């Protein structure tokens, strides 16, 4: 696999990134959703969310709590990995996925085995602040252990975590995720610059031409989320974004191919 380059070349269309796997067609952040993404040629990268269990294992889960996407209840941080593994993480989506479990980052990286680049989004818990560097170091160790150092984009809404990743591994490629309530009025170069990030990740409806211009001027890559239908793809391509995150990344790939003819 080629090393991950955060910016696309002018000759190619944006990277297509499977947001939580192909989460429109399989339960998000499960091996089933990641497998689907690996089966689809043209999907460049898989995005997933990570946080810690009570016994400080890195698990792949979006929400702070378990109930939306599993049969568990309450904060995931309150359960050991063994307890978390008891929960069914697929039936909420469809009964055919009842054997899905909340995966660990180790399991996902082992499964991917270098097949796709990975965007690891570090989640921070506003009700339970992790010790600085705890999640960051664990994630970096797992990526290193999987031999995927050059295949990962580390991102977070918590820009301190982004800074910490870079402090532990200055070679890591990182992205800041824009939070309109906190970051409004601040340009990508300001947000990325103060934590050494190379990518600026933004919701599709929050991205302005001014942000794009600023990011371009400062050599930053721009990623937008979440384009779940193809309706905004052309507009984003015209703006010149480098990456599109989608729950239906397979549809985005098909759309880009069809328009390429």
Residues tagged active-site:
19, 62
**Strand ranges for the chain from DSSP E:** 15-19, 45-52, 58-60, 117-122, 152-156, 173-177, 199-203, 221-225, 243-246
- Within 10 A of 119 (CB to CB), how many other CB atoms are there? 28
CB-nearest residue to ligand G3P: 225
User: Binder to Mg ion among 26, 30, 31, 49 (CB under 5 A)?
Assistant: 49
Counting contacts by CB under 5 A, is residue 121 touching Mg ion?
yes
Counting contacts by CB under 6 A, is residue 112 touching ligand G3P?
no
**Which C-beta is closer to Mg ion: that of 24 or that of 214?**
24
Of 60, 86, 59, 58, which Cα lies nearest the Cα of 73?
A: 86
Contact between 119 and 46 under an 8 Å Cβ cutoff? The reply is yes
Choosing among ligand G3P, Mg ion, none, which partner's interface includes residue 246 (Cβ < 5 to 8 Å by kind)? none
CB-nearest residue to Mg ion: 121
Binding mask 162-201 for ligand G3P (x = CB under 6 A): ---------------x-----------------------x
Counting contacts by CB under 6 A, is residue 62 touching ligand G3P?
yes
Contact between 222 and 243 under an 8 Å Cβ cutoff? The reply is yes
Residues 122-161 that bind ligand G3P (CB under 6 A): 155
Cα-Cα end-to-end distance for the chain: 26
- SS3 of residue 6 by DSSP: coil
Least Cβ distance, residue 27 to Mg ion (angstroms): 15
Task: Report the alpha-carbon distance of residue 223 to residue 11 in Å, rounded.
Answer: 17
Task: Report the alpha-carbon distance of residue 120 to residue 254 in Å, rounded.
Answer: 25
User: Binder to ligand G3P among 26, 43, 44, 49 (CB under 6 A)?
Assistant: 49
Segment near Mg ion (CB under 5 A), from 46-54, 140-148, 158-166, 214-222? 46-54
Task: Report the alpha-carbon distance of residue 195 to residue 222 in Å, rounded.
Answer: 16
**Which C-beta is closer to ligand G3P: that of 98 or that of 232?**
232
Least Cβ distance, residue 142 to ligand G3P (angstroms): 19
Least Cβ distance, residue 200 to ligand G3P (angstroms): 11
The residues that touch Mg ion, with contacts defined as CB under 5 A, are: 49, 121
């Amino acid at each position: 696999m080629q090393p991950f380059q955060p910016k696309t070349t002018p000759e190619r269309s944006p990277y297509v990134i499977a947001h939580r796997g192909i989460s429109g067609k399989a339960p998000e952040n499960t091996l089933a959703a990641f497998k689907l993404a690996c089966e689809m040629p043209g999907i460049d990268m898989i995005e997933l969310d990570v946080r810690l269990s009570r016994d400080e294992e890195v698990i792949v889960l979006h929400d702070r709590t378990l109930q939306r996407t599993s049969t568990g209840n309450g904060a995931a941080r309150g359960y050991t990995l063994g307890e978390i593994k008891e929960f069914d993480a697929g039936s909420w989506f469809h009964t055919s996925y009842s054997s899905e479990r909340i995966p660990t980052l180790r399991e996902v990286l082992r499964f991917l085995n270098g097949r796709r680049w990975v965007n690891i989004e570090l989640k921070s818990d506003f009700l339970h602040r992790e010790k600085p560097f705890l999640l960051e170091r664990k994630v970096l160790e797992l990526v290193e252990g999987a031999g995927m150092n050059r295949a990962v984009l580390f991102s977070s809404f918590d820009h301190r975590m982004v800074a910490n990743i870079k402090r532990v591994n200055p070679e890591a490629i990182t992205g800041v995720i824009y939070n309109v309530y906190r970051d409004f009025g601040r340009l990508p170069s300001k947000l990325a610059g103060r934590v050494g990030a190379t990518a600026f990740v933004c919701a599709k409806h929050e991205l302005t031409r001014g942000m794009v211009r600023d990011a371009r001027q400062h050599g930053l890559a721009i990623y937008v989320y979440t384009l779940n239908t193809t309706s905004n793809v052309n507009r984003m391509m015209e703006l010149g974004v480098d990456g599109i995150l989608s729950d239906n990344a397979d549809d985005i790939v098909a759309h880009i191919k069809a328009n390429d003819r």
